[in-house]
Amino acid sequence: MMASESLDFVPQASGQHTLRRLLRYMLPYRRTVIFALVLLLLATATDVLQPILIKVFIDRYLIPRHFPKPAMIGLGGGYLALVVMTAGFNVAQLLLFQVLALDVIQTLRVELFDKVQTLSLAFFDRTPVGVLVSRLTNDTEAILDMFMTVLSTFVQNITVLVGILIAMFALDVRLATYCLVLLPVTVAIMLFYRKITAPVFHRARQRLSLLNAKLNESLQGMAVIQAMRQEPRLREEFGTINQAYRQARFRNTQLNALLLRPLMDGIYLLALMLILWYFGERSFAHVVNIGVLYAFVTYLSRFFEPVNSMMQRLNFFQQAMVSSERVFQILDNPDLAPQQEGDHHPVIQRGQICFEDVSFSYDGQTDVLKHISFTALPGQTVALVGHTGSGKSSTVNLLLRFYPVQRGRITIDGIDLRHFSDDELRRKIGLVLQDPFLFVGDVSSNIRLGNTWITDEQVQDAARFVQADTFIDAFDQGYHAPIGERGATLSTGQRQLLSFARTMAMNPAILVLDEATASVDTETEEAIQQALAKMRHGRTTIAIAHRLSTIQDADMILVLHHGEIVERGTHQQLLAQKGLYYNMFLLQQGSTAAP
Amino acid sequence: MQVFSDLMWFFKEHRTRYLIGVALLVVVALIALIPPKVIGIVVNELAHHTLTHRRLVYALLAILLSALASYGLRYLWRILLYGGSIQLATELRDRLYHHFTLMAPEFYHEHRIGDLMAHSTNDVQAIQETAGDGVLTLVDSITTGTVVIATMAITISWKLTAIALLPMPLMAYAVSRYGKLLHERFAVAQAAFSDINDRVQEYVSGIRVVRAFGQEAWERQQFVRLSRDVVNKNVAVARIDSLFDPTISVIVGLSYFLSIAFGADFIVHHQMNIGELTTFTLYLGELIWPMLAFGFLFNIVERGSASYERVQRLLEIAPAIQDAPHADTHVPTGDIVYDLERFTYPTQDTPALKHIHLHIRQGETLGIVGRTGSGKTTLMRLLLREFDVDQGDIRIGNRSIKMVTLDALRQCIAYAPQDDFLFSATIRENIAFARPNAALEEIEASARLAQIAHDIERFPEGYETLIGERGTTLSGGQKQRISIARALLQDAEILLLDDTLSAVDGRTEAQILEALRANRLGRTTIIATHRLRTIAHADQIIVLEDGMIVERGTHDSLWAQGGRYHDMYQRQQLEAFVEEGGATV
């Protein structure tokens, strides 16, 4: 595997469209948004008022050297109150916006999860586990950054900027008008910076992916590299990519140094000159208020902080957009799992299964099942045998409605499979998987799964029924014994018995057995076979068998080869045919009769 | 701060860069003192109506000059210091890569590729930040801090400076306290995130069980609960995070308040003038950043030193396989002799090979058969010296393989390993991997020998077809044949095929073997395989079981023995027959 995901990804939707779609997720929270905005406005107002108080103090009291006590207490108290209020409002609005962003992401995550739940298994077959996990977690996390950036940085900073400008106008309209020039200048620099750095930033990221891909591949293929003595060449190749990345990074740094903080600091000083010049010139004709000058100088020093922080966030924003597009691609994926058709809600009672001329293809080109027809009467066991790729698993996948039936028809109790509800199918058809998948939790949670209607008693009955109770009781914590990742703490046999119990707890009418290929010791094997025999009793069973010895008592054995049923009959009948089944049986007996 | 002395080698190596960079930082800090001073002077003259045109122009010029100078110098030190940190990261990555190429397979058993990647990316990134932002913050906060405070105290008023700075320790405390809390809560939030990651991983892996048992609703409930948990833990982080800036602003506001209040008092008592007060508050503004930065510095440095330690530990691991002193650089040639008492993998307890005594004459073909885990691959890996043998010896042409250089040894061996690993490159580059300058004719000739030439010619891009993740997907058999072509192009005296024909169909396999026999006259070939018919023509066949040779001979002699080889052969014939869907009627 190569770490080249970002290289492969081609953004499709336009950035604006993606952004709009993202922002729509905030609609349900509009009350909170408005409340937070009000708080933000209050905070900004109390914040920009502070220099005005100082201005009043300087002009009205300090310069005339006149300090009436009540005014002093009022001003001083007022100033401190404003400081505290600003802080208070800010704490509240910052928290609100952050919580809001987190809530929005929670909504998006759950929506994505719900979507994933409806996707077809074919989608899961195609998509590597890591990629899907990354969509649900890392990509949504990157979008969270976007919301934090847009809300916290952009909205807030722009509000502060506007607040400062309003305060400036309140103090001196003409000077404020001059200062207004700063806005287009900074916006122009921002746009220019964005335009000029976007490709550089992109190039740096691309080279980083390349670097990582090279490193990853080299680490995986190190044995080959060493055996073929290519270490010096590969080092050189890596060195070249490394240098290319260095150059891109350096270029990035150069542009940042040229256009970010140093430039903003420079513009700040130029603006200071403007203010000084304005007051200086005026002073030759009028009396100037030192306090106003003081306030302007203060505002100016605050003007550039928001600009700086916005510019630094621009690149993260881009990354979040890439993640959003990936997430939306899944949300828009039309490849859904088969759903119930019609609203009759038929019920499975007897469990008669019928395949009528079923053909199936995963890719639309090669058929993995060709004209499969058979009937399993209620209570019968039908076994499927054949080599890997002969179509056994596909047959079962169709019966479980993991994939849609494309040609032909499958019926249960004479009713087309498509008409059953998911719930009915899942509760009445019990699947016993070849590789029992256990979840992190404890013994009983693995038997019960999420079916809260299954009582503790039923859990224990199920375990007893498949004779899993002996080893469960031997655990110190019994049914509450913890189970680690993929049940690694249990033996293969124990895992299988647990998965049997899981199926029996549902008490299904139909059993689908996918026999394990892994070998277990004879004693466990015996327990498993006994349990299976008990489970099959009274249930229609479709069994995938690898060891022919385990299905000798099946009512019918279907021998599959390249998606076709080539032989069918009971064990004795098939042996007598001396065909493929016979040879397979010989092979498994370990005898070597020549063909 | 340990990490700075750890990185001293780099700072020394780039001494001029860092000396100039730091000197520039100091100069910039000094220049930054000018504008507030100028403003203070102008304010005074405005207050006293003594400002003249000429003096205003001078004042504006002074600010303009300092603006230009500091823009240029700020740009320069950024280039120098950040450029240095990028250089450091580049050097560290090169070192790590170089180091990885020296490491024997043992190393790759002990370290997961994901971890090694993380060290080369995240850790290097953290070190880069330490060398860039870390150095900058350290120098900048110290120089700006001292220069500004000194100027305030000396040129304006030490008393007012002391008063104004009173709340500052609070700020340092708040930054470090919040920093600690943030760090802790962030770790908790990360853990919650990693929980949901694990859960989703489990869900996706077990999707068939989930679907088969109709557990969608339950899974949703779990997911919602866990992601809610992530939200809650992040809200805890946000609580601190949203306190951060407002707290700072309260402290700064307090500091301004004290300055103005006491400054006014000083002005009334003629200890100060209004211009000085203006300059003073502007200086105060310049102090906020260094104070804040100092709080963050510890964070950056902490991460950097942990990362540096991890990288250093990795770099200190010595290669498990090294050339012996005075090892022979001549490429070995001749008979291969295995004299092995036993060999055990470093991480295992039971030996992988026992009592292997083998003599393969130059030009012979040896066939190795046996079940998975019987020791076939180990036998080949030992010849390549991927691991060293301590009980026994392996010789080529009567020279112990330990006494020749690795380079010379591997020059006489061409290897087609079991996991046909191909690179994300063109087919041509893959076949020419060991000889990147080989002519296209040679590459084509190897491809023909490996019976892959026809397949390649059918691709629209031919030999320039890109393969791997981002290119054409090849079948297992095609990959194996490219891997064989790659080994053949090496044109080495010894060819090792480690089960490299397993995914190739019988007819093609026979053609490859036929081509090999003709092509490799006089050269030694070792083939390990499950499929006995692959090695039926070998000069010598050994059957391995549990790391020991249990039968040896030629096909005919082994067949005649009627032992394991005989049984296996018959079974495989029947298996092949059944696989083809055959039935005796």
pLDDT digits 0-9 by tens, A161-201: 999 999 999 999 999 999 998 889 988 988 898 888 888 88
Sign of the torsion formed by the C-alpha atoms of A384, A387, A392 and A397:
positive
Q: Choose, out of A4, A139, A149, A249, the residue to mutate when testing the contact with B (most B CBs < 10 Å).
A: A249
A511 phi and psi, to 5 degrees? Answer: -115, 135
CB nearest B235 (choices: A67, A99, A423)? A99
d(CA B172, CA B152): 20
d(CA B257, CA B281): 10
d(CA B53, CA B440): 81
d(CA A139, CA A181): 39
Q: How large is the C-alpha radius of gyration of chain A? A: 36
pLDDT class for B411, splitting at 50, 70, 90?
very high
Q: Please tell me if residue B47 touches chain A, with a CB cutoff of 8 Å.
A: yes
Assigned token pair, B524: 């030694």
CB nearest B39 (choices: A92, A276, A400)? A276
Question: A495-505 as b/e, with b when 16 or more CB fall inside 10 Å?
Answer: bbbbbbbbbbb
Q: What is the pLDDT of residues B394-404, one digit of tens each?
A: 999 999 999 99
Size of interface A-B (CB pairs under 8 A): 378
Query: Which sequence spans correspond to the domains of chain A?
Result: 12-331, 353-589
Local structure of A541: helix, strand or coil: strand
Q: Please tell me if residue B397 touches chain A, with a CB cutoff of 8 Å.
A: no
DSSP 8-state secondary structure symbol assigned to residue B472: B
Do residues A559 and A581 make contact, with C-beta atoms less than 8 angstroms apart?
A: yes
pLDDT exceeds 90 at position A232: yes
Contacts of B411 (CB under 8 A, 6+ apart): A229, B331, B492
Give the percent of chain B with pLDDT over 90.
61
pLDDT exceeds 80 at position A152: no
**What is residue A547's predicted lDDT score, i.e. its pLDDT?**
79
- Does the distance separating the beta carbons of A98 and B66 come in below 8 Å? no
Q: Choose, out of B101, B124, B171, the residue to mutate when testing the contact with A (most A CBs < 10 Å).
A: B101
**What is residue A263's predicted lDDT score, i.e. its pLDDT?**
92
Minimal Cα–Cα distance from A25 to chain B, Å? 16
Contacts of B252 (CB under 8 A, 6+ apart): B167, B171, B288
Residues of A in contact with B228 (CB under 8 A): 106
- Does the distance separating the beta carbons of B274 and A290 come in below 8 Å? yes
Domain B1-155 coded CATH 3.30.460.10: no
Name the residue among B186, B422, B437, B167 with its Cα closest to residue B291.
Answer: B167
**What is residue A594's predicted lDDT score, i.e. its pLDDT?**
41
**What is residue A243's predicted lDDT score, i.e. its pLDDT?**
96
pLDDT class for A584, splitting at 50, 70, 90?
confident
Strand partners, B528: B368, B498
- Does the distance separating the beta carbons of A80 and B59 come in below 8 Å? no
Local structure of B83: helix, strand or coil: helix
- Among A20-24, A516-520, B192-196, B517-521, the range scoring the smallest mean pLDDT is A516-520
What average pLDDT does the structure give for chain A? 87
d(CA A131, CA A138): 10
- Does the distance separating the beta carbons of A276 and B241 come in below 8 Å? no
Left (φ > 0), alpha (ψ -120 to 50) or beta: where does A471 sit? Answer: alpha
Residues of A in contact with B120 (CB under 8 A): 215
**What is residue A42's predicted lDDT score, i.e. its pLDDT?**
95
**What is residue A41's predicted lDDT score, i.e. its pLDDT?**
94
Beta-strand relationship, B494-498 and B413-416? parallel
CA atoms within 13 A on the CB side of A216: 16
Q: What is the pLDDT of residues A32-48, one digit of tens each?
A: 999 999 999 999 999 99
- Does the distance separating the beta carbons of A226 and B421 come in below 8 Å? no
**What is residue B470's predicted lDDT score, i.e. its pLDDT?**
59
- Helix-strand-coil split of chain B, %, nearest 5: 65, 10, 25
Q: How large is the C-alpha radius of gyration of chain B? A: 37
CATH of A353-589, one of 3.20.130.10, 3.20.20.70, 3.40.50.300, 3.30.365.10: 3.40.50.300
Name the residue among A265, A276, A297 with its Cα closest to residue A167.
Answer: A297
- Does the distance separating the beta carbons of A587 and B574 come in below 8 Å? yes
pLDDT exceeds 70 at position A3: no
Residues of A in contact with B424 (CB under 8 A): 2, 4, 213, 217
Q: Please tell me if residue B48 touches chain A, with a CB cutoff of 8 Å.
A: no
Fold identical between A12-331 and A353-589?
no
d(CA A127, CA A594): 44
Do residues B434 and A229 make contact, with C-beta atoms less than 8 angstroms apart?
A: yes
pLDDT exceeds 50 at position A592: no
CB < 8 Å from A in window 117-136 of B: 117, 120-121
**What is residue B582's predicted lDDT score, i.e. its pLDDT?**
65
Q: What is the pLDDT of residues B40-67, one digit of tens each?
A: 999 999 988 889 999 999 999 999 999 9
- Does the distance separating the beta carbons of A272 and B35 come in below 8 Å? yes
Name the residue among B377, B375, B366, B363 with its Cα closest to residue B335.
Answer: B363
d(CA A544, CA A559): 11
Q: What is the pLDDT of residues B274-296, one digit of tens each?
A: 999 999 999 998 888 787 777 77
pLDDT exceeds 90 at position B381: yes
CB nearest B220 (choices: A114, A265, A433)? A114
Q: Please tell me if residue B227 touches chain A, with a CB cutoff of 8 Å.
A: yes
Name the residue among A507, A487, A509 with its Cα closest to residue A498.
Answer: A487
- Superfamily per CATH, domain A12-331: ABC transporter type 1, transmembrane domain (1.20.1560.10)
CA distance to A171, A394, A479, per residue, from A358 (Å)? 83, 11, 43
Name the residue among A532, A519, A446 with its Cα closest to residue A487.
Answer: A446
d(CA B89, CA A208): 12
Contacts of A533 (CB under 8 A, 6+ apart): none
CB < 8 Å from A in window 462-481 of B: 468-470
Q: What is the pLDDT of residues A410-433, one digit of tens each?
A: 999 999 999 999 889 988 999 887
Tracing tokens 């949300």 back to the chain, one arrives at A331
Dump the DSSP string for B480-506. Answer: HHHHHHHHHHT--SEEEEESTTTTS-H
- Among A406-410, B237-241, B420-424, the range scoring the smallest mean pLDDT is B420-424
Residues of A in contact with B213 (CB under 8 A): 426, 431, 449, 451, 502, 506
DSSP 8-state secondary structure symbol assigned to residue A144: H
Mean pLDDT, rounded, for B8-22: 94
Minimal Cα–Cα distance from A229 to chain B, Å? 7
Does A551 or B220 have the greater pLDDT score?
A: B220
Q: What is the pLDDT of residues B108-132, one digit of tens each?
A: 988 888 788 888 888 898 899 889 8
Q: What is the pLDDT of residues B130-145, one digit of tens each?
A: 898 888 888 888 889 9
pLDDT exceeds 70 at position B315: yes
Assigned token pair, B456: 């390649």
- Does the distance separating the beta carbons of A449 and B75 come in below 8 Å? no
CA distance to A436, A525, B210, per residue, from A494 (Å)? 10, 10, 20
d(CA A116, CA A331): 8
pLDDT exceeds 50 at position A593: no
d(CA B452, CA A524): 47
Residues of A in contact with B193 (CB under 8 A): 137, 141
Mean pLDDT, rounded, for B313-333: 93
pLDDT exceeds 50 at position B585: no
- Does the distance separating the beta carbons of B246 and A91 come in below 8 Å? yes
Residues of B in contact with A431 (CB under 8 A): 208-209, 212-213
d(CA B153, CA A136): 56
pLDDT exceeds 60 at position A479: yes
Assigned token pair, B376: 């076939």
Mean pLDDT, rounded, for A556-567: 93
pLDDT class for A541, splitting at 50, 70, 90?
very high
Q: In Å, how far from its chain's centre is CA A511?
A: 33
Name the residue among B400, B368, B401, B362 with its Cα closest to residue B524.
Answer: B362
- Does the distance separating the beta carbons of B86 and A250 come in below 8 Å? yes
Beta-strand relationship, B353-360 and B336-343? antiparallel
**What is residue B456's predicted lDDT score, i.e. its pLDDT?**
93
Do residues B282 and A297 make contact, with C-beta atoms less than 8 angstroms apart?
A: yes
pLDDT exceeds 70 at position A533: yes
Do residues B293 and B141 make contact, with C-beta atoms less than 8 angstroms apart?
A: yes
d(CA B163, CA B145): 16
Give the percent of chain A with pLDDT over 90.
47
Residues of A in contact with B254 (CB under 8 A): 80, 83
Do residues A47 and A360 make contact, with C-beta atoms less than 8 angstroms apart?
A: no
Beta-strand relationship, B353-360 and B399-400? unpaired
CB < 8 Å from A in window 258-287 of B: 260-261, 264, 267-268, 274, 278, 281-282, 285
Q: Please tell me if residue B91 touches chain A, with a CB cutoff of 8 Å.
A: no
